[in-house]
Amino acid sequence: MALPDQFLDEVRARTPLAALVGRRVRLTKSGRNWKGCCPFHNEKTPSFYVYEDGYHCFGCGAHGNAIGFVMQTQGSGFIEAVTALAGEAGLEMPRLGPDQMAAQARSDGVQEVLGRAEAEFRRLLGAPAGRRALDYLTGRGLTGQTIERFGLGWSGEGRGSLVSVLRAAGADDALLAETGLVQPDGRELFFNRVMFPIRDRGGRIISFGGRILGDGVPKYVNGPETALFSKRRSLYGLDLARAAVRGGAELVVAEGYMDVIALHQAGFAGAVAPLGTALTEEQMAELWRLSPVPVLCFDGDAAGARAALRAVNLALPHLTPEQSLRLASLPNGQDPDSLVRAQGPAGFAAVLAAARPVSDVLFDLLRQGQPLAGPEQRAAFRERLAEAAGRIGHKGLAAEYRRSLLERFFTETRTARPTRMVPGPRGAQTGGTRDGGARGPVRFGARPVPDEAAGRAECARILSAIALSHPALLHQLEDGWVRIALDAGLAQVRDATLAWFNDAQELDSAGLITHLTKLGLEEDVARVLSRSPHPLPACVAPDAQPVEVLAAWHHLFQMLHRDRLEADIAAARRDVAAGADGLAQERLVRLREAAAAIWREPGEEIES
């Protein structure tokens, strides 16, 4: 039954969600929201949150609105739940017109025919004619209970018998065509196939899939698109997985029917699969409705890597700090079904335990078949990494991905460079590398030694110049930048920059400077980026590597906070003296090295 969207919006608006949920869950205030123990799975620590317009459990992934809550907790159908809430809200249910009533009746008729077809397929599987199909299923390790639970059946070896049964039950040719069981020429779609009912998230049959016995092709056939069945929106096993995931099971995406069934039988009851196609955006959204971090399971070969990259590319625009993926890689030549039969549940449990977050595998997936021997190839790959991060819709997460991907890029593509002897701030010659690595801290070109106040002001200016030139790194710089003492002009630049950072779609320096100029801060920006009184260091340049930029930033920041560094050294000494573990000793060594790099005169030693 189709109800007007405006009516449904009014029902939800008139239903105080916290009061509705509070009838079944003891809620306590949590800021502007409410929290309590989830009613959909057993938990002792509250992870179920109720907001103004919805609820979400961070434990099992259950979420929805007022209508969904009534459906899930009371087992109501959609119309029944809406009717109950509308009555409480003082709203009268809209009356359906003749066309809507006819469409609903037609849909009910299709569902009834599909149910009769399932019953016939199951009958044939248990009959002598279905012995070969039953032997196939039991030979794949399935128990009678599993076969019953998934409603598996047998189509029969020839065409015609199913149509006869359904016509005898009152189904006309038009209704049969709407089920997808009959082809346009009137012939049955499925014959000589093991049958797999496909159900919607509520458990209602919407189509069938069939696997041929023998060597025919195609091996698997799914029913065609119908008013009830859309391949890109459906997931095999979803109805059973929903309940399992709410109870704490891991949501796992496998490849096919038998993988899902074998995993459920082995105890992995959160398994689902797309229907013969690569994952779609609609299916991904359905997965995230169940779990904030589902696991996608792929073969460990090249084809599996390609499938994983397609899925990750599909997911990138929709990733958020609360919504992501993990990827599990199977041993070469194995699928979940064969792995469980060969190694038992423990074998697949090990695969799940080794699943990696998408943030860890994205670099490897993008690098597949990408040679990095020359500068052009490295530049192209770097752009590919930045482009992938830029596709993430959540700005803060996109910046984190970009930083992580580029840090790994610079680590893996860095070539050895000769040590560069450059003067330190007091004239000390220190060996360093352009990447700011282990050979020594990053140093800058020679500059006159100013008095202490002027020196601190110059450090603050350089730090501000770094921030303006590399806004993509602001998520790592802002905490330190706000703690730096700045004059009024630079403080205005900083505050306006951080406000821009919170709303900007593109984190580029030119866009930032244009924005600041429009705010009337042109003179202050020019002062930050000026070559006077001293030239800015190389790390301010737009093409400076992020690793070098961050090393320079932290070096200068430490110079401005000598007192804090001295206090940290004193605290570390006390920890070591008190007999703390080796980590405390290592911390003291690192702090003393940092102090030496910043303050030491030639030949001067830091007191132990």
Average of per-residue pLDDT across 387-395:
92
How many angstroms separate the CA atoms of 141 and 146, rounded? 10
**574 band by pLDDT with thresholds 50, 70 and 90:** confident
The answer to whether the Cα torsion of 431, 435, 436, 438 is positive or negative is negative
Average of per-residue pLDDT across 138-154:
95
Q: Are 121 and 154 in contact (CB under 8 A)?
A: yes
Helices (H), 51-198: 66-74, 78-89, 98-126, 131-139, 144-149, 161-168, 173-179
Query: For the chain, how big is the Rg over CA atoms in Å?
Result: 32
Q: Are 190 and 208 in contact (CB under 8 A)?
A: yes
Q: Are 333 and 316 in contact (CB under 8 A)?
A: no
Average of per-residue pLDDT across 302-324:
89
Q: What is the pLDDT of residues 78-93, one digit of tens each?
A: 888 899 999 998 888 8
* Cis check: omega of the bond before 4, within 30 degrees of 0: no
Please say if the pLDDT value at position 472 is more than 80: yes
How many angstroms separate the CA atoms of 321 and 22, rounded? 28
Same fold for the pair 98-229 and 235-369: no
Q: Are 235 and 283 in contact (CB under 8 A)?
A: yes
Q: What are phi and psi of 14, to 5 degrees?
A: -90, 0
CA atoms within 13 A on the CB side of 67: 17
Please say if the pLDDT value at position 603 is more than 60: no
The residue among 538, 532, 474, 479 whose CA lies nearest residue 507 is 474
The residue among 1, 6, 13, 2 whose CA lies nearest residue 85 is 13
How many angstroms separate the CA atoms of 244 and 250, rounded? 8
- Domain positions in the chain: 5-89, 98-229, 235-369, 370-413, 420-560
The residue among 253, 255, 317, 331 whose CA lies nearest residue 286 is 253
**426 band by pLDDT with thresholds 50, 70 and 90:** very low
Q: Domain 235-369, what architecture?
A: 3-Layer(aba) Sandwich (3.40)
Helices (H), 417-545: 452-469, 474-481, 488-503, 509-518, 522-529
Q: Provide long-range contacts, Cβ within 8 A and 24+ apart, for 379-386.
A: 381/409, 382/406, 382/409, 385/409
**202 band by pLDDT with thresholds 50, 70 and 90:** confident
Which residues on adjacent β-strands are paired with residue 429? 423
CATH 3.90.580.10 fits 5-89, yes or no: yes
Q: Is 57 helix (H, G, I), strand (E, B) or coil?
A: strand
For the chain, give the percent of residues with pLDDT over 70. Answer: 84
- Give the count of beta carbons closer than 10 Å to the beta carbon of residue 354: 11
Average of per-residue pLDDT across 507-522:
88
**Residue 41 confidence (pLDDT):** 84
**Residue 531 confidence (pLDDT):** 76
Which residues on adjacent β-strands are paired with residue 323? 320
Please say if the pLDDT value at position 435 is more than 70: no
Distances (CA, A) of 445 to 266, 397, 536: 65, 35, 9
Name the pTM for this structure: 0.59
Average pLDDT in the chain: 81
- Strand positions, DSSP E, 379-439: 420-423, 429-432
Q: Are 381 and 362 in contact (CB under 8 A)?
A: no
Q: What share of the chain is helix, strand, coil (3-state, %, to 5)?
A: 55, 10, 35
**Residue 457 confidence (pLDDT):** 83
Q: What is the pLDDT of residues 540-551, one digit of tens each?
A: 888 778 877 887
Q: Domain 98-229, what architecture?
A: Alpha-Beta Complex (3.90)
